[in-house]
Structure 1
Amino acid sequence: MYKLIPYQKDYAADIAVLSHLAIRNIADDQYSVEETSAWSFAPRSSYHWHKRLSQSKTWLMIDERIEYAGKPVCCGFINIETGFASKGYIDSLYVHPDYQGQGIAKRLYLAIEEWALAQGYPSLLVDASKLSKPLFESQGFKLRHRSYQEKRAVIIMGYYMEKTLSQS
């Protein structure tokens, strides 16, 4: 049914749409329409997403039951920065609105954590949204401080969180 795979370039356009839909479908009690519109005014280009995801470690969750354009549908993705300055920073975690509430975000996160442990990363960091904060808290992340990002002249609040990884 669902399968975790490494990032593949032919999914870049799907990811552009998926991330846009995930943001624009956040409930108004989490972020206002003004905030979600500023956060994702329109889907970013597939070039943008390919460049961003190919420069980090990225996993996709695909639904093998449904095909679109000759390949299984991507229903979620996560990526972690691997560069020196931002090593261990979870950059993106998005699940398509039609697949939310099915444990996909947790499965994607657990893949990242397992990989980070194998790499010897001492901790993971994330700038969690109001929507993703409970997931990260349930996985042992602790709040370091609130964070604020300006997008299209709108301030969007989040939570900068960290989890120390135990090497056992």
Structure 2
Amino acid sequence: MSVPLQANKQIEVVPYRRRYARAVSELFHHSVHQIQHERYNAAQLNAWSQAPRSSQHWDLRLSRSQAWIILVTDAASLSKICAGFINVETDFHHQGYIDSLYIHPDWQRQGLGERAYRQLEQWAKEQGYCQLSADASYLSRGLFIKLGFVQQQRSYQQKLGQVLPSFYMTKKL
């Protein structure tokens, strides 16, 4: 169940730093295992994320790309919660590929994914990227369509003997 954003909450989209690696790892694993969709069964979710990966894994993965963290700050306590993250590949062969966009289940459907994407798109335009692409899950496909992406084809990833269906989508900038 989503927790509605309240007036006393502030949202920031900040560049990724190593100190967020553990929160990203936990958020990713938790988000995957909270998926309830008829297109994904338990075996597929376990293949998608068997257990939280190490902080080192996530730091290496996100440091090799351009990444942002979505922080929700409670104005009263000033505590910050990692509510999501997004990253885009910067390597020449994969330039402009959105590798990850995950929002904690408690914060989904409140505009955080779109807000993070807008930050990424602005950065990509400043870098001179002419296109962005993503393999969208059944859950994120609607968001990517709303953001102006066009489905090019169905795509599939194989992990631990399980096939994870998705949609290869692109957007011209």
> What is aligned with 1:156?
164
Q: Does 1:50 align with 2:59?
A: yes
Contact 1:127/1:161 (<8 A) preserved: yes
TM-score, normalising length: structure 1: 0.93
Q: Does 1:41 align with 2:47?
A: no
Q: Which amino acid aligns with 2:143?
A: L
Show structure 2 runs of 5+ residues with no match.
1-9
Residue deviations 1:91-139 (CA, integer Å, cap 9, x gap)? 0000011111111111111111111111110000101111000000111
Of the candidates 71, 86, 92, which is equivalent to residue 94 of structure 2? 86
Distance in 2, Cα, partners of 1:65 & 1:163: 34
Contact 1:127/1:147 (<8 A) preserved: yes
Show structure 1 runs of 5+ residues with no match.
none
> What is aligned with 1:113?
121
> What is aligned with 1:144?
152
Shift of 1:71: 6.2
Shift of 1:31: 1.5
Residue deviations 1:132-153 (CA, integer Å, cap 9, x gap)? 0000011111111111111110
Contact 1:30/1:131 (<8 A) preserved: no
**Residue correspondences, number:** 164
Identity fraction in percent? 44
Quickly say closer, same or farther: Cα 1:48–1:112, change in 2 above 3 A: same
- Partner secondary structure for residue 133 of structure 2: strand
Distance in 1, Cα, partners of 2:155 & 2:46: 19
**Where in structure 1 do 4 or more consecutive aligned residues deviate above 2 Å?**
none
> What is aligned with 1:72?
80
